[in-house]
Chains A and B, each alone.
Chain A
Amino acid sequence: MDRRHFIKLTAITGTGAALTACGNPEHQLIRFIPEDDLVPGVATWKPTICPLCSAGCGVTARVMEGQAEVFRNGQPGVISMGLAKKLEGNPEDAISQGKLCARGQAAIQITYHPDRLANPRKRTGERGSGQFVDISWDEAIKELVGHLDALAAANSQASLALLTKPRRGRRLDLLAEWLRRFGAPAPVTFELFSDDVLRRANEISFGVAQLPTLDLEQAQYVVSFGADFLGAWNSPVAQSAAYGRMRQSRPGGRAKLVHADARLSQTAANADEFVAIKPGTEGVLALGLAHVIIANNLRPAAAAGRAGAAIDGWATGLTAFTPAAVEQRTGVAAARVERLAREFAAHPPAVALVAGPPLAQSNGLFTALAVNALNALAGSLNTPGGVSFVPQPRPAVATRDLSALLQEAAPKVLLIDDVNPVFASPASRQVAGALMRIPFIASFGSFVDETSALADLILPDHSFLESWVEAVPESGAAKAVPISAGPVMRPLYDTRPTIDVLLDVSRRLATPLAPALPNTFEEFLNREETAGVLRAGDSAPAGQAGAEAPALQYIAPQFDGDPTQFPYHFLPYASQALFDGSLAHLPWLQELPDPTTSAMWCSWIEINEHRAEELGIHQGDVIEVASAHGTVRAAAFLNPGLAPDAVAMPVGQGHTNFTRYATGIGVNPVAILAAAEVSGTTALAWSATRVKITRVGGPDDTLILFGGATRERPEETHGR
């Protein structure tokens, strides 16, 4: 008899009699069964994976014993169990390298969120009314199985759709396989700040539909075209760690970082040189640099190879992109273009990167191809200090984008796996309306949000700390190692891991899915390590590599809205704290001062400080931003680092139904965007809307700034 059984037995014999009078003796007993590996007051560390973005940082959770109120068999009770106390980067992990970003640190609040769903729910009121009633898992699964059986009976398995996040490693593989065996089309994925344009460009330029890994650590010269690589783009922890070494603590001196953008973003703030550029013309600047390099024989033109072939005019030396022509289009002085190009060529390894706003223009694909060609010209592909692509263990599964749900032939049953397209789509796409037309929706998220509020059935997932997790990093390290980790703690509530629920459903269908899938995700992960449950090739590879697209001509960026009526570029950006709004429910992140403004718990509209002065707008005044598709009102933040012909707004606030911490705070800039696509792709051109602004009134005290003055010496001293 081991210690655990001994304690269990003594607890039962010692207290059994006393507890029979208390009701629910079986779950009261749980508190007397300690976890084997825990000593009260002594911390242990367990590995897990940050779930918040697709970077896939390996983290460790500090676990200590504590008293938790939990639900077991639908009954509440207090038990003593291991509780995650803090998330820290896992020093053994190639991506996080023992570090973790602000968002990752706050992920622990998902598990302990007071508004987390504790048990399955069924809709009682009208759709969207938010009226649900608690039901048991048996009832919930029975209901879901009933709808799926009905589809199968009507032989319309193709009317089942699954909406999930893109690039979620083997989990997505398994979900796709589940759908395939049921007879449903590929999963629909949705992400507001997707990098599909860059993946497409990389596919054309380099034959790899993947995000690049940047070797900042060894680069000597870095030109970033709008890429917020220290903020919220791609794999920020890995990129920041490399950036730290690029700045100091490496032999060979300090590299130069040049950042071109229309707004001084957090990453731009760290640049040695900020190049203010007209929105949508970043590709022109990249080709301008290439022109100078080619024209001055600073690098052989042949070096561009396949990447250059994707650009029209490359072979003839890009004669349309002389510094003078570039100045005319981009607003960057010709002499500066010349100097930047010479510096770029003179300091190898030099690397260019592009992401974010430039790729969310109508000509984003062109911009990405131009930057890729510049990289190729500088010979920085697959070299130390350049860009490289991490070999992936298997091709990405085929997915469909959100338009699959918005068409006339809408699915009859929709499963939503923790995505919120109702919030993160332009109002003009009418996602909510499309979802309302779907007869049955089941949602698996842990929270009620704008999308899951429309569901008929909510089957809450475990939090990531309570379930098996895995990741296959797409970028961020030289070698991508698929990682997986077991639960860090026992579940708090009557929730179940989504993937296990679906696997359970697959066996309970009138005609169970065949051949049978694994019983649980854990089993899948463990079996796959050795045998491979899904044979390579089961999932169709994404896109067709190899097929050469015709050379792309420069196209001027197209903006939605007439410049005379809508004189300002509207530049929404991913909030450093709230990302695309999916983290707005975490109080730590709501109260985290925004790096460039110090704002907390609010929305704000950034406007150039001198333009604001001309318009009579003061800090905190309420202004209205109107596009052709809608208006939003928020407080003004006078930003010294924003182009005078642009207004910028962080995405993330403006939730109408997303827990106590996010509901009713701020406004959602995505709502007023035009539903324009980046040409050549289906990605949303979220930076291509034009707006007008009007001052509505004085401060309404919604602008909450942690910091005071924006300048270190705001009041001038006097001369003598």
Chain B
Amino acid sequence: MNRTLTKPIADDLVRPLFQTSVWFYAIVFAAATVVACGGAAWGYQVWNGIGSAGIRWPVFWGFYLVNFVFWIGISHAGTLISAILRLVNAGWRRPVTRCAEAITVFALMIGAMFPIIHLGRPWLAFWLFPYPSAREIWPNFRSPLAWDFFAINTYLTGSVLFLFLPMIPDFALVRDRSTGWRRTLYGLLAFGWRGTTRQWNRLESAMQIMAVAILPVAVSVHTIVSFDFSMAAVPMWHSTIFGPYFVAGAIFSGIAALIIAMAVLRKTLGLEKYLLPLHFDNLGKLLLLMCILWAYFVFAERLTVWYGNEPSEMAVFWASQRGRFAPFYWTMVICNFVIPFVILTNYKTRTILGCVIASFGVLIGMWLERFLIIVPSLATKQLPYSWGSYAPQPVELTIMAATFAGMILLYALFSKFVPIIAIWELKAGLPSRLDPALQVETSLLSTRLDTEAFSSEAERADRGQP
């Protein structure tokens, strides 16, 4: 085994697990504080009543459901991207997959909280579980909310497995390098991994199965989230385009979240050697693709509504196009299309910074998109007498801020306890694959990644080159 070649990689990537900077504590503390505020806000809401939020007649769904759809969308970052890239064997995916999969799991955990937070009687949320009870009724399987329950649970389970499986060899590696409580912890997490050929084969086939299985689950979960809306005869909700539209939007925002997460990790954990401009360039191209796809969906949706000229739909259409929601609508168009398109079509601006700016635009734009799907339609339903407005209240804003802080907190802790880049996968992608356990990967081609990643002087010295 070429220990001299792979050892620095492991050193670099395991280092954050053993060394803790003051910044880490500062970030964790700050994020935890905001999360605690969010918890308190939710407690306040449960104690006083859901009326503490800004929802009202007739806009019965507000920021909570916007955030629900937003975070479920973010969750498509990972699993979907990583599964696709894994299946098509894109070599450059290697440093990216775990970042992405972690986003998926955390975003799902956060997103799945919102349907419970938004309930009028959250203490009865367990009535959505199909279990034999004294009430002698099962959940109503005709309700898209029951579908949501199953879809999200399936996706969460699958994503956790998909994240966890490739972590096992890395846990074993950390176990072997650590002492004390860490050795016990990682020993447990490594599930007795010894790196035998049999184990590698099992892992590889499990990953292949998971990658194939998670794709339809990921597509279905956001389709089902879109069904929450498109199943109701609400103007501009009742649309066949919603399934693919939501999936495209989800991947779009997921990639943006991934780019931002990678850029942050690159800076904070000193991963400049591993997360290269190439990765950002490739993800930027993917983001551009989704940007164009998203714009196409919006165009298709808006054109059909406008051409159809159905009065109740036109009321919603104009409310966002030039009415009271127009400022949000046009901000969305700028953030979701104009900014990313301009930045990402030009290879000179498709730098790390450029990609990050575009990604921030996309996150803002996609959040607004979810707002513009939910609120204007509810505020402008068929009977104009029942039209209303909506303004978020402090509890909603606090809980929303807490979810973003929660994401930072979970991510910071994750990167503290787990190597954020899959060490063994990175090693597997190296040009000289001498480890017999990695023979399965023989078809991998050497990429620019591999040459650039180890072109520093130290690396060259390691390899015995001049």
Partners in one complex: yes
A interface residue numbers (CB < 8 A to B)? 598, 707-709, 711-715, 717-718, 720
| Cα-based distance from A714 to B387 in the complex (angstroms) | 11
The listed residue with most A CB atoms (<10 A of its CB), out of B315, B318, B323, B384, is: B384
Q: Is B386 an interface residue (CB 8 A)?
A: yes
Interface residues of B in 263-318 (CB under 8 A from A): 306, 309-311, 314-315, 318
Q: Are B384 and A713 in contact (CB under 8 A)?
A: yes
Please, which residues of chain A bring their CB within 8 A of the CB of B323? Answer: 715
Q: Are A708 and B387 in contact (CB under 8 A)?
A: yes
Q: Are B311 and A707 in contact (CB under 8 A)?
A: no
Q: Beyond A709-B384, A715-B314, A715-B318, list 13 extra A-B contacts (CB 8 Å).
A: A598-B385, A707-B386, A709-B385, A711-B384, A712-B384, A713-B311, A714-B315, A715-B315, A715-B319, A715-B323, A717-B310, A718-B306, A718-B309
Please, which residues of chain A bring their CB within 8 A of the CB of B315? Answer: 714-715
A-B contact pairs, 28 of them (CB 8 A): A598-B385, A707-B385, A707-B386, A708-B384, A708-B385, A708-B388, A709-B384, A709-B385, A709-B387, A711-B384, A712-B384, A713-B311, A713-B384, A714-B315, A714-B384, A715-B311, A715-B314, A715-B315, A715-B318, A715-B319, A715-B323, A717-B309, A717-B310, A717-B311, A717-B314, A718-B309, A718-B314, A720-B309
Tell me how far the C-beta of B59 lies from the nearest C-beta in chain A, rounded to whole angstroms.
Answer: 11
Tell me how far the C-beta of A46 lies from the nearest C-beta in chain B, rounded to whole angstroms.
Answer: 37
Please, which residues of chain B bring their CB within 8 A of the CB of A708? Answer: 384-388
| Cα-based distance from A381 to B92 in the complex (angstroms) | 98
Please, which residues of chain B bring their CB within 8 A of the CB of A709? Answer: 384-385, 387
Tell me how far the C-beta of B191 lies from the nearest C-beta in chain A, rounded to whole angstroms.
Answer: 59
Tell me how far the C-beta of B33 lies from the nearest C-beta in chain A, rounded to whole angstroms.
Answer: 33
| Cα-based distance from A539 to B315 in the complex (angstroms) | 66
Tell me how far the C-beta of A474 lies from the nearest C-beta in chain B, rounded to whole angstroms.
Answer: 37
| Cα-based distance from A389 to B62 in the complex (angstroms) | 59
Residue of chain A at shortest CB distance from B316: A715
Top-4 shortest CB links A-B: A708-B387, A709-B384, A707-B385, A715-B315
Please, which residues of chain A bring their CB within 8 A of the CB of B319? Answer: 715
| Cα-based distance from A714 to B314 in the complex (angstroms) | 10
Please, which residues of chain B bring their CB within 8 A of the CB of A707? Answer: 385-386
The listed residue with most B CB atoms (<10 A of its CB), out of A708, A709, A714, A720, is: A708
Please, which residues of chain B bring their CB within 8 A of the CB of A712? Answer: 384
Tell me how far the C-beta of B317 lies from the nearest C-beta in chain A, rounded to whole angstroms.
Answer: 8
Interface residues of B in 332-388 (CB under 8 A from A): 384-388
Q: Work out how many contacts link A and B, with CB atoms closer than 8 A.
A: 31
Residue of chain A at shortest CB distance from B386: A708
| Cα-based distance from A715 to B305 in the complex (angstroms) | 14
Measured as residues with beta carbon below 8 angstroms from the partner, the interface class of chain B is 10 to 19
Please, which residues of chain B bring their CB within 8 A of the CB of A720? Answer: 309
| Cα-based distance from A448 to B310 in the complex (angstroms) | 55
Chain B window 421-451, contacts with chain A (Cβ cutoff 8 Å), 1 for yes, 0 for no = 0000000000000000000000000000000
Please, which residues of chain A bring their CB within 8 A of the CB of B385? Answer: 598, 707-709
Please, which residues of chain A bring their CB within 8 A of the CB of B310? Answer: 717
| Cα-based distance from A712 to B383 in the complex (angstroms) | 7
Tell me how far the C-beta of B326 lies from the nearest C-beta in chain A, rounded to whole angstroms.
Answer: 13
| Cα-based distance from A711 to B387 in the complex (angstroms) | 11
Please, which residues of chain A bring their CB within 8 A of the CB of B388? Answer: 708
Tell me how far the C-beta of B310 lies from the nearest C-beta in chain A, rounded to whole angstroms.
Answer: 8
Residue of chain A at shortest CB distance from B379: A708
Residue of chain A at shortest CB distance from B388: A708
Please, which residues of chain A bring their CB within 8 A of the CB of B306? Answer: 718
Please, which residues of chain A bring their CB within 8 A of the CB of B309? Answer: 717-718, 720
| Cα-based distance from A248 to B227 in the complex (angstroms) | 46
Tell me how far the C-beta of A241 lies from the nearest C-beta in chain B, rounded to whole angstroms.
Answer: 26
| Cα-based distance from A598 to B57 in the complex (angstroms) | 15
Tell me how far the C-beta of A7 lies from the nearest C-beta in chain B, rounded to whole angstroms.
Answer: 40
Residue of chain A at shortest CB distance from B318: A715
Residue of chain A at shortest CB distance from B313: A717
Tell me how far the C-beta of A118 lies from the nearest C-beta in chain B, rounded to whole angstroms.
Answer: 31
Please, which residues of chain B bring their CB within 8 A of the CB of A598? Answer: 385
Residue of chain A at shortest CB distance from B309: A717
Residue of chain A at shortest CB distance from B384: A709
Please, which residues of chain A bring their CB within 8 A of the CB of B386? Answer: 707-708
| Cα-based distance from A593 to B394 in the complex (angstroms) | 29
| Cα-based distance from A714 to B385 in the complex (angstroms) | 10
Tell me how far the C-beta of B384 lies from the nearest C-beta in chain A, rounded to whole angstroms.
Answer: 4
Chain B window 247-270, contacts with chain A (Cβ cutoff 8 Å), 1 for yes, 0 for no = 000000000000000000000000
Residue of chain A at shortest CB distance from B322: A715
Tell me how far the C-beta of B99 lies from the nearest C-beta in chain A, rounded to whole angstroms.
Answer: 45
| Cα-based distance from A707 to B386 in the complex (angstroms) | 6
| Cα-based distance from A717 to B313 in the complex (angstroms) | 9
Please, which residues of chain B bring their CB within 8 A of the CB of A717? Answer: 309-311, 314
| Cα-based distance from A720 to B314 in the complex (angstroms) | 14
| Cα-based distance from A707 to B387 in the complex (angstroms) | 7
Tell me how far the C-beta of A599 lies from the nearest C-beta in chain B, rounded to whole angstroms.
Answer: 13
Please, which residues of chain B bring their CB within 8 A of the CB of A713? Answer: 311, 384
| Cα-based distance from A720 to B308 in the complex (angstroms) | 10
The listed residue with most B CB atoms (<10 A of its CB), out of A712, A714, A715, A718, is: A715
Please, which residues of chain A bring their CB within 8 A of the CB of B387? Answer: 708-709
Please, which residues of chain B bring their CB within 8 A of the CB of A718? Answer: 306, 309, 314
| Cα-based distance from A709 to B306 in the complex (angstroms) | 21
Chain B window 170-211, contacts with chain A (Cβ cutoff 8 Å), 1 for yes, 0 for no = 000000000000000000000000000000000000000000
Residue of chain B at shortest CB distance from A712: B384
Residue of chain A at shortest CB distance from B319: A715
| Cα-based distance from A707 to B57 in the complex (angstroms) | 10
Please, which residues of chain A bring their CB within 8 A of the CB of B314? Answer: 715, 717-718
| Cα-based distance from A718 to B315 in the complex (angstroms) | 11
Residue of chain B at shortest CB distance from A714: B384
| Cα-based distance from A709 to B323 in the complex (angstroms) | 13
Tell me how far the C-beta of A619 lies from the nearest C-beta in chain B, rounded to whole angstroms.
Answer: 12
Chain B window 151-186, contacts with chain A (Cβ cutoff 8 Å), 1 for yes, 0 for no = 000000000000000000000000000000000000
Residue of chain B at shortest CB distance from A713: B311
Residue of chain B at shortest CB distance from A718: B309
| Cα-based distance from A703 to B387 in the complex (angstroms) | 15
Tell me how far the C-beta of A693 lies from the nearest C-beta in chain B, rounded to whole angstroms.
Answer: 26
| Cα-based distance from A713 to B319 in the complex (angstroms) | 13
Please, which residues of chain B bring their CB within 8 A of the CB of A711? Answer: 384
Tell me how far the C-beta of A154 lies from the nearest C-beta in chain B, rounded to whole angstroms.
Answer: 61
Tell me how far the C-beta of A714 lies from the nearest C-beta in chain B, rounded to whole angstroms.
Answer: 6
| Cα-based distance from A712 to B315 in the complex (angstroms) | 11
Tell me how far the C-beta of B274 lies from the nearest C-beta in chain A, rounded to whole angstroms.
Answer: 54
Residue of chain B at shortest CB distance from A720: B309
Tell me how far the C-beta of B57 lies from the nearest C-beta in chain A, rounded to whole angstroms.
Answer: 9
Tell me how far the C-beta of B378 lies from the nearest C-beta in chain A, rounded to whole angstroms.
Answer: 12
| Cα-based distance from A718 to B384 in the complex (angstroms) | 18
Tell me how far the C-beta of A365 lies from the nearest C-beta in chain B, rounded to whole angstroms.
Answer: 41
| Cα-based distance from A720 to B319 in the complex (angstroms) | 20
| Cα-based distance from A717 to B312 in the complex (angstroms) | 9
| Cα-based distance from A541 to B242 in the complex (angstroms) | 79
| Cα-based distance from A717 to B386 in the complex (angstroms) | 19
Tell me how far the C-beta of A412 lies from the nearest C-beta in chain B, rounded to whole angstroms.
Answer: 54
| Cα-based distance from A712 to B310 in the complex (angstroms) | 14
Tell me how far the C-beta of A595 lies from the nearest C-beta in chain B, rounded to whole angstroms.
Answer: 12
| Cα-based distance from A453 to B143 in the complex (angstroms) | 58
Please, which residues of chain B bring their CB within 8 A of the CB of A714? Answer: 315, 384
| Cα-based distance from A712 to B386 in the complex (angstroms) | 10
| Cα-based distance from A707 to B310 in the complex (angstroms) | 22
| Cα-based distance from A713 to B309 in the complex (angstroms) | 13
Tell me how far the C-beta of B377 lies from the nearest C-beta in chain A, rounded to whole angstroms.
Answer: 14
| Cα-based distance from A663 to B438 in the complex (angstroms) | 82
Tell me how far the C-beta of A348 lies from the nearest C-beta in chain B, rounded to whole angstroms.
Answer: 39
Tell me how far the C-beta of B240 lies from the nearest C-beta in chain A, rounded to whole angstroms.
Answer: 22
| Cα-based distance from A713 to B315 in the complex (angstroms) | 8
Tell me how far the C-beta of A639 lies from the nearest C-beta in chain B, rounded to whole angstroms.
Answer: 16
Residue of chain A at shortest CB distance from B311: A717
Residue of chain A at shortest CB distance from B315: A715
Tell me how far the C-beta of A637 lies from the nearest C-beta in chain B, rounded to whole angstroms.
Answer: 15
| Cα-based distance from A598 to B387 in the complex (angstroms) | 12
| Cα-based distance from A336 to B441 in the complex (angstroms) | 94
